[in-house]
Amino acid sequence: MTTMKFPKRYLVVILTFISTSVCYIERVGFSIAYTVAADAAGVNQSSKGTILSTFYYGYACSQVPGGWAAQKIGGRKVLLLSFVLWSSTCALIPLDPNRVFVMVIARLLVGVAQGFIFPSIHTVLAQWVPPHERSRSVSLTTSGMYLGAAAGMLFLPSLVKYRGPQSVFLAEAALGAMWSLLWFKYASDPPRSEHPKATAAGFGESMLPIKGSQKLKLENGGSSVRTAKIPWKKILLSLPVWAIVVNNFTFHYALYVLMNWLPTYFELGLQLSLQEMGSSKMLPYLNMFIFSNIGGVVADHLVTKRILSVTRTRKLLNTIGFIVASIALMAIPIFRTSGGAVLCSSVALGFLALGRAGFAVNHMDIAPRYAGIVMGVSNTAGTLAGIIGVDLTGKLLEAARTVDSSLSSAESWRVVFFIPGLLCIFSSLVFLLFSTGERIFD
């Protein structure tokens, strides 16, 4: 009796999916636990914004170094190291809103450690996943973020209620440790591809630098020369790279503002308790999980069946995703019920996730061999969006407090949601004008 062999690349994709889920349980968990602890300690909105945004400073610092390290040492090892570091930090540092310095250092450390994760994942996926499976593989892996965020929103408020805010940190550290053990046991570097077309697409190569230059024998008897030099200047001056960077910034501005401030909007803007909202509060992230995977499957179908070119596929999904999201974001403060706010934020985040089948997979189209590096550059922009958006929102709300002390009016929140809405329109235009699905880096 023969058993069907489960392809190793599927296991690698599933493990990277679980890794992004765990990371986002950590991020949502911190904002929930810290919000409860900070409100109990009487911390103001502006100070909350500062602590919530500290993570992103550390995260921004390690994006490009993360891509470089994944290129030089290997994405598999860097990914494991980052998980061990952030899990340890969560386990060892207490949650105390009054000890601001300790909180800042802890969030910086977690941010730095998690900054290595996505560039490493993109390096691993570019090695393991053949081009025709890339859209759905990247979409599945990144959809783990949203499933993690949904799970965090569903379960963690109750954990905070019954076990206290500190219990969230310990639960997250345990999840991180368990994933690290799975990755250590089951992940490996890919076998080198023997197929010349696959090698040309950057698939099935170790991507680690080879001293000097080394000739790779190809199937047809020819050879290609590969050197270890990373084309930094070409990457930084490329308009298609900047199209990805601008869209990554906007995507994360909207995502991080909603992720960090939606709990406050429900509690103060709509006077609702997160515990009383039940499962509805997880719907925006669940929607992201569903739409991210729909986007990946649709993109791969359009490309594989040759219905549209790679370039047109990326532009179509990016445009639909960002334009619908912009309308939904600007509509959030118009609705004054939990159902209306959940619906609008669900549509906004769902279609933003659909847009990832445009800009996010585009790293691998234009630079499969340098996917980790390009991801590091664009994710730095996405992280700056987190710093700017989360902190600016705190300041906008503190300013709105002078007019409406309870922050319960729609006017207090209008600018908060209009900014990401307008950014979505601008970004989709940039992507339409400057992006390409063609490979531009050898």
What are 137-152's pLDDT values in tens digits? 888 898 898 899 889 9
pLDDT greater at residue 200 or residue 256: 256
pLDDT of residue 32: 86
DSSP 295-354: HHHHHHHHHHTTSS-HHHHHHHHHHHHHHHHHHHHHHGGG--SHHHHHHHHHHHHHHHHH
Q: Kindly state the greatest CA–CA separation across the chain.
A: 75
pLDDT for 83 beyond 80: yes
Confidence band, pLDDT 50/70/90 cuts, at residue 251 = very high
Continuous segment of H or E residues that includes residue 215 = strand 213-217
pLDDT of residue 63: 84
Question: What is the mean predicted confidence (pLDDT) over 79-91?
Answer: 92
pLDDT for 226 beyond 50: no
Distance between CA atoms of residues 348 and 376, nearest Å: 25
Question: What is the mean predicted confidence (pLDDT) over 404-427?
Answer: 89
Question: What is the mean predicted confidence (pLDDT) over 267-277?
Answer: 77
Q: State both tokens at 119.
A: 């560039």
Q: State both tokens at 355.
A: 């847009």
432: left (phi over 0), alpha (psi -120 to 50) or beta: alpha
Question: What is the mean predicted confidence (pLDDT) over 389-413?
Answer: 84
Distance between CA atoms of residues 293 and 353, nearest Å: 9
105-110 LR contacts (CB < 8 Å, sep 24+):
107/30, 107/51, 107/54, 107/55, 107/58, 108/54, 108/55, 108/57, 108/58, 109/58, 109/85, 110/26, 110/30, 110/55, 110/58, 110/86
- Residue 402: phi and psi, rounded to 5, are -65, -25
Least-confidence region, from 21-35, 111-125, 218-232, 388-402: 218-232
Distances (CA, A) of 434 to 241, 244, 406: 9, 9, 44
pLDDT of residue 223: 36
42: left (phi over 0), alpha (psi -120 to 50) or beta: left
User: What amino acid is encoded at 8 in this protein?
Assistant: K
Distance between CA atoms of residues 379 and 283, nearest Å: 25
pLDDT of residue 150: 87
Distance between CA atoms of residues 266 and 413, nearest Å: 11
Question: What is the mean predicted confidence (pLDDT) over 264-268?
Answer: 83
Confidence band, pLDDT 50/70/90 cuts, at residue 197 = very low
Distances (CA, A) of 134 to 139, 162, 171, 284, 355: 8, 42, 32, 25, 15
| Cα separation of the two ends of the chain | 45
pLDDT of residue 48: 82
pLDDT for 25 beyond 80: yes
- List, for residues 314-351, the tens digit of each pLDDT value: 999 999 999 999 999 999 998 888 889 899 999 999 99
Confidence band, pLDDT 50/70/90 cuts, at residue 224 = very low
Percent of the chain with pLDDT over 90: 37
Domains in the chain with CATH codes: 8-190+230-434 (1.20.1250.20), 194-227 (no CATH)
Confidence band, pLDDT 50/70/90 cuts, at residue 228 = low
> In 3D, which of 428, 168, 438, 421 has the Cα closest to residue 315?
428
Residue with tokens 């590096």: 373
Distance between CA atoms of residues 373 and 235, nearest Å: 9
pLDDT of residue 191: 67
Distance between CA atoms of residues 63 and 181, nearest Å: 24
Can you tell me whether residue 188 is helix, strand or coil?
Answer: coil
What average pLDDT does the structure give for the chain? 84
Distance between CA atoms of residues 385 and 408, nearest Å: 26
Percent of the chain with pLDDT over 70: 90
Distance between CA atoms of residues 442 and 246, nearest Å: 23
Highest mean pLDDT (candidates 6-10, 312-316, 335-339, 413-417): 312-316
Least-confidence region, from 195-199, 289-293, 413-417, 425-429: 195-199
pTM of the predicted protein model: 0.79
pLDDT of residue 387: 85
N residues, the chain: 442
Yes or no: say if 56 and 390 are a contact pair by the CB < 8 Å rule. Answer: yes
pLDDT of residue 221: 38
Q: HSE on the CB side for 365, CA within 13 Å?
A: 24
pLDDT of residue 4: 52
pLDDT of residue 36: 85
H-type helices in 129-265, by residue range?
134-163, 166-186, 196-200, 232-236, 239-264
